[in-house]
Structures are given as C-alpha cells and as structure tokens.
C-alpha cells in the first residue's frame, strides 16, 4: 500500500523530468513562442485597459505599475522575437528567460493589486498565477520556487499596505490561486507528457528504417540540417558509405542475404559511431553518418578503416560472403556549410573510390573549394580516355575534360562545379553497371534533367569534325533501356 502511494506521488516528478530533459529543445521553443505571443497580448490588453477603464470606473487610475508591466511585456516580446529570428537553441538561457518573464510579470501584478489600491481586493493575482502555470512548461522545482516566492511577496505587500477590511479576502484569493495553479500545473504537465510520449512514438515509427535500425532518409537529412543550421564553433564530418556491387550480391546470393548485409552494416554503424552522431540509410545500399565535434581527418580515417574491417568480418562470419565498402567523407571548418553541399562532396569522395579500387577517401571542404577555383571553363565528363583526347581536340574553347572511369587517378571534381558540367561523353561500347550508376548519381547531385549525354564510339577511326564524331544526343539521364532503344533505332535506320 505504501509503495503504491509512493509510486503515485513520484509519477508526476518522473513525467516532468522526462519532459524537461527528453524534450528540452521542443520545450524551449514552445516557451519562447509563448513568451512572444503572450507578451504581444499582454501589452495590448494593458494599453486597452489603461485607455478604457477610467471611463467605466471613474475612481480607477493608471499607476506606475501599469506602465512598468506594459514595458515588461513589450521588452520580452521584442527580445523573444529576436531570439526566434536568430534561432537561439541555448536551452538554459531560454529557461532563465521563461522564469524571469513569469516572475517579473507576476511581481508587477502583485504590486498593482496591493500598493496603489489599498482598499480594493486584488482580483487579478490568482487568475494570473493559474494562467502562468497553464501556459509555460517548467520543472517542478522551478514552478515551486517561482509561485511560492510570488505568493510570499503578495502576502507581505498585503499586510504592509492593504486595509484590514480586504486583507482576509486577498489572502484567500492568493492562497486559492497558489494551490489551483499547482493543480493546473500537474494536470497540464501530465497532458504534455502524454503528448510528448505519443509524438515520440510516431516519430520513432516514421523516422527509423525497419531493416537496418538507423534513421530513414528524410529523418536523417532533417537531423543533419537542423544540426548544421544551429551549430556554433563546432566542426563535423559527413560520411557517405556504399556497399560495392550490392546488386550482384542480391543476384548471386538472394535478396535475403542482401538484406542481412544491409542489416549488418546498420548494426555496425550503431556500434562504431557515437550515440550523438546522426546515422541514416539514404538509399538502397547507401548510408550517411554525420560525426559531430570532429575535424581531424586522420582520426576519421582510422575510424572508417575500423568500421570497414568490422563490417567485412561480420558479413563473412554470418554469411560467408565477401563484401567491400566504398566510404567518402568531408570535414567542415568552423564556417557555416549547408547539408546539400556536404552530402554532395562526401558522395563524390565515396564515388572517387570506385575506379581506383580504394575504400576510403576523406578530405576537407576548404581543400575542395580551393580546387574548384581552378576550374574556370566548362567541364565535360568522359567515360573513356580516347574519348577525352579526341573530344578535347575538337573543341574551340577552354574546358576541363575529365576521364572518370579508365584513368587510375581519383575522380576529384568538386561537386559545386557540377552546375558547370556541359555534357557527359559516353562510349556506348564501354558502358557497365558502375557507369550507369554514376550517371544516375550525377543526376541526383546536379538536380536537373537537362544535362546532355553524348554517345560516341571511340573504337572507330573517325576523322572529321565534332558533329561526325558524336553519334547522337540523348536527353539526360541515360538509362540502359534508353540506350537499347536508341541502338535499336540506329540499327533499323541503318
């Protein structure tokens, strides 16, 4: 019996603690928004009362307390609006602001209800205490200290300045308001806790990938964007991970084994990387990790080596299947960088490993930006070195023509220059799965369907101008089906 009573009494404290700690960011944002909205409303009502009440109650007059509370509402409205605009995320600062706003507002109400009108009952004190308890989310300790202090101040002012005839009424009002505000606080706290739990439940269901246990694509991207938007004086790294030849694994061993490979990658990601890092599955066999508070490329490289090794060992132990990963990463400095740029750079670093058979490439944003400044002309991407040489010889303007597949060098074109790519030159006798995959990835990164693909046959001894060299022009993206249709058309025409 005693344990049951103890459990009932402790439950509000547990709920409140979970709400304040687990939903700290959301509580802070909500409190800041309420300060802003209630400040606007409070300022407007105070001005309206000061203008209208003297006509309704002739003996009523404006006091310094009314001026101060109007200025109080105006000050906190301006401050909260500014903090919302600059996206402040300091939870402790917002809690202090909320406590200060509540205490100052209520202490001014206590002043107005006592000193200026010693023979009138303080009608606003109780209702304002109850309203404050309902509007804001406090910790139980904060609420107890604030409301007890306000009640004590009001009782002192009542005995010091109020007429004996109204002291009893005022004491009854303030004590009723004090206890009712406590009841309202507990009820609202319970409702907010239930909403918090329910919301988290649905977020969990929609946010996580069922197979791998890591964040789903949208949730991962949202978490990364939120962190990057609000980070201050911290560095981070974005890592993109791809399972090599995953289609071949599915074809050779079956989709069940393919799923187990992905699940193993997800499991190892959660073991190797920190709980505070953002880990997600952003494609069929592609994963992303945002490593927080890190900028040392050597440390990142060693961690990726370790992860790569444990995945290989785990997959081979469970399934007796050899598997390899391609990992690309990019580190930020202290300067702001948007998620799209980081993802595209990391994705490109990962894809740079494909032709060179490397597993891991990690570079810094600053280094890649330095490279991009040297690319002043239009960029052509070629899938064959012979194509590169001949194609460039036919151009009458400066450009960078990059062989992305047959050259042993890493493909290190800065992603920000993707907008400058004029075309992709493809030898249709050289195309394979990796090249189709690259074209599809390039489409996603470039965010446009207007990139032309020029089909050539570099094996023929072709002499003449560029127009004769180019067999055809196919709208981007190039797919195997589109190429087959085109080749069939050429055969029929021929």
Tell me, yes or no, whether 350 and 238 share the same domain: yes
Predicted pLDDT of residue 131 = 96
**How much is the pLDDT for 93?**
93
451 and 425 in one domain? yes
**Is 70 exceeded by the pLDDT of residue 486?**
no
Give the pLDDT of residue 434.
61
Q: Are residues 167 and 132 in the same domain?
A: yes
Given a cut of 90, is residue 40 above it in pLDDT? yes
Q: Which helix (H) or strand (E) holds 424?
A: strand 421-427
How many domains is the chain built from? 3
- CB-based contacts of 221: which residues, under 8 Å, 6+ apart? 280, 282, 339, 343
Tell me, yes or no, whether 359 and 386 share the same domain: no
Domain that holds residue 57: 2-206
229-238, 383-392, 443-452 — most confident range: 229-238
* CATH code assigned at 337: 3.30.70.270
Q: Are residues 21 and 55 in the same domain?
A: yes
Mean pLDDT for 346-352 is 83
pLDDT at 279: 94
Please tell me the distance from the alpha carbon of residue 171 to that of residue 154, in angstroms, as a whole number.
9
* Separation of alpha carbons 252 and 187, rounded Å: 59
Residue 308 is encoded by which pair of tokens? 């790569």
332: pLDDT strictly greater than 80: yes
Band of residue 430 on the pLDDT scale cut at 50, 70, 90:
low
User: What is each CA distance from 159 to 261, 321, 376, 390, in whole angstroms?
Assistant: 76, 84, 81, 98
Mean pLDDT taken over the chain: 80
Residues 266 and 378 in one domain: no
Same domain assignment for residues 151 and 229: no
Q: Do residue 179 and residue 241 come from a single domain? A: no
Q: Quick one: pLDDT band at residue 432, thresholds 50, 70, 90?
A: low
Q: How many angstroms separate the CA atoms of 172 and 188, rounded?
A: 24
Residue 411: pLDDT over 60 = no
- Which of residues 178, 206, 234 is at a domain's end? 206
For residue 147, the model assigns a pLDDT of 97
**What confidence tier does 473 reach under pLDDT thresholds 50, 70, 90?**
very low
Does the structure show a pLDDT above 70 at 449?
Answer: no
363 with 245, same domain: the answer is: yes
Query: Which of 197-206, 240-249, 451-460, 473-482 has the least mean pLDDT?
Result: 473-482
Q: Which residue in 363, 376, 261 sits closest to 321, CA to CA?
A: 261
pLDDT on residue 401:
53
Answer yes or no: do 195 and 237 share one domain: no
Q: Of 335, 370, 405, which marks where a domain is finished?
A: 370
Query: Has residue 358 got a pLDDT over 80?
Result: no
The confidence score (pLDDT) of residue 199 equals 79
Helix (H, G, I), strand (E, B), or coil: what is residue 202? helix
pLDDT mean over 135-145: 95
Residues 416 and 304 in one domain: no
Q: Choose the final residue of a domain: 206, 232, 251.
A: 206
Q: What confidence tier does 180 reach under pLDDT thresholds 50, 70, 90?
A: very high
Average pLDDT of the segment spanning 424-439: 61
Q: Which runs of E-coded beta strand occur in 201-283?
A: 236-243, 278-281
Residue 300 has pLDDT above 50, yes or no: yes
Phi and psi at residue 387, to the nearest 5°: -60, -45
Task: Return the closest-CA partner of residue 179 out of 204, 209, 148.
Answer: 148
Backbone dihedral region for residue 75 (phi beyond 0: left; psi -120 to 50: alpha; all else: beta): alpha
- In this prediction, residues 31-57 reach a mean pLDDT of 94
Q: Is the pLDDT of residue 259 over 70?
A: yes
Instruction: Please tell me the least confidently modeled range out of 2-6, 191-195, 378-382.
Output: 378-382
Pairwise pLDDT comparison (9 vs 271), residue with the higher score = 271
Integer CA distances (angstroms), 373 to 90, 396, 416, in order: 37, 22, 10
Provide the pLDDT for residue 62: 92
> For residue 256, what pLDDT is reported?
92
DSSP 418: G
Report pLDDT digits (tens) over 48-87. Answer: 999 999 898 888 899 999 999 999 999 999 999 999 998 8
Q: Are residues 313 and 177 in the same domain?
A: no
Element containing residue 455 per DSSP (H, E)? strand 453-456
What does the pLDDT read at residue 344? 87
User: Would the pTM of this model clear 0.85, i.e. be above it?
Assistant: no
Going from the C-alpha of 135 to that of each of 132, 198, 431, the distances in angstroms are 5, 20, 64
More confident residue, 403 or 424: 424
């Amino acid at each position: 019996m005693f344990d049951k009573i103890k459990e009932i009494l402790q439950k509000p404290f547990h709920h409140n603690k979970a709400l304040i700690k687990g939903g700290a960011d959301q509580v802070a944002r909500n409190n800041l928004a309420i300060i802003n909205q209630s400040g606007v409303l409070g300022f407007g009502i105070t001005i309206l009362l000061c203008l209208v009440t003297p006509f309704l109650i002739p003996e009523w007059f404006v006091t310094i307390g009314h001026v101060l509370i109007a200025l109080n509402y105006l000050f906190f409205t301006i401050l909260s609006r500014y903090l919302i605009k600059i996206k402040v995320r300091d939870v402790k600062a917002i809690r202090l602001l909320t406590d200060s706003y509540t205490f100052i507002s209520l202490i001014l109400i206590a002043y107005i209800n006592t000193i200026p009108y010693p023979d009138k009952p303080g009608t606003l004190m109780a209702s304002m205490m109850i309203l404050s308890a309902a509007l804001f989310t406090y910790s139980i300790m904060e609420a107890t200290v604030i409301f007890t202090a306000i009640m004590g101040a009001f009782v002192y002012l009542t005995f010091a300045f109020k007429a004996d005839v109204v002291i009893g009424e005022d004491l009854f009002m303030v004590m009723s308001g004090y206890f009712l505000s406590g009841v309202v606080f507990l009820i609202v706290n319970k409702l907010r806790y239930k909403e918090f739990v329910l919301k988290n439940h649905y977020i969990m269901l929609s946010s996580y990938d069922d197979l791998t246990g890591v964040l789903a694509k949208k949730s991962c991207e949202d978490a990364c964007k939120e962190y990057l938007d609000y980070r201050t004086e911290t560095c981070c790294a974005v890592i993109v991970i791809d399972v090599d030849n995953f289609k071949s694994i599915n074809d050779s061993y079956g989709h069940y084994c393919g799923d187990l490979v992905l699940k193993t990658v997800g499991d190892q990601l959660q073991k190797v990387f920190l709980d505070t890092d953002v880990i997600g599955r952003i494609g069929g066999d592609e994963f992303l990790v945002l490593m927080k508070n890190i900028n040392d490329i050597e440390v990142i490289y060693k961690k990726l080596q370790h992860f790569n090794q444990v995945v290989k060992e785990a997959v081979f132990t469970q399934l007796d299947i050899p598997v390899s990963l391609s990992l690309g990463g990019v580190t930020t400095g202290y300067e702001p960088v948007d998620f799209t740029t980081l993802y595209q750079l990391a994705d490109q670093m990962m894809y740079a490993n494909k032709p060179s058979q490397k597993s891991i490439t990690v570079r810094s944003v600053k280094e890649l930006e330095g490279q991009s400044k040297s690319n002043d002309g239009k960029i052509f991407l070629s899938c064959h070195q012979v194509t590169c040489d001949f194609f460039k010889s036919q151009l009458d303007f400066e450009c960078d023509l990059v062989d992305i597949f047959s050259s042993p060098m890493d493909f290190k074109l800065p992603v920000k220059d993707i907008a400058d790519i004029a075309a992709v030159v493809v030898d249709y006798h050289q195309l394979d799965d990796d090249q189709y995959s690259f074209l599809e990835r390039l489409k996603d990164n470039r965010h446009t369907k207007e990139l032309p693909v020029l089909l050539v046959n570099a094996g023929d001894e072709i002499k003449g101008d560029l127009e004769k060299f180019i067999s055809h022009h196919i709208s981007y993206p190039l797919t195997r089906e589109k190429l087959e249709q085109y080749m069939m058309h050429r055969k029929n025409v021929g």
